[in-house]
């Protein structure tokens, strides 16, 4: 694992959250715990490459860049999900895989 790259992901997410007036409390240790608990894409089961905000930071109801609002996703699924929330039925997400 490239720790520098993972720390950069956290910093970018925290910066975006603060710019939007959202909390940014996700720590590096919390992110590592999420990665180890979920070693594949939350949507298609593929290899994770990105930190994914379950409720996008741009959404008015987003809790922010916090441990309860992040999961792992492959690049393809993260891009397809875009600014939609996790509430999309799982069966639709599985079609992306």
Neighbouring-strand partners of residue 51: 72
- pLDDT tens digits, residue range 43-71? 888 887 789 998 999 999 999 999 999 99
Q: Say which CATH architecture domain 3-94 belongs to.
A: 2-Layer Sandwich (3.30)
Do 34 and 10 contact (CB within 8 A), yes or no?
no
A 10 A CB-CB count for 52 gives 22
pLDDT over threshold 90, residue 82: no
pLDDT mean across residues, the chain:
85
């Amino acid at each position: 694992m490239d720790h520098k790259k993972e720390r950069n992901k956290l910093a970018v997410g925290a910066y975006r959250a603060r710019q939007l007036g959202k909390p940014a409390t996700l720590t590096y240790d919390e992110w590592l715990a999420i990665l180890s608990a979920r070693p594949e894409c939350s949507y298609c089961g593929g290899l994770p490459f990105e930190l994914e905000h379950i409720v996008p930071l741009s959404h008015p109801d987003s809790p922010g860049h916090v441990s309860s609002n992040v999961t792992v996703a492959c690049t393809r699924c993260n891009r397809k999900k875009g600014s939609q929330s996790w509430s999309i039925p799982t069966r639709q997400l599985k079609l992306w895989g």
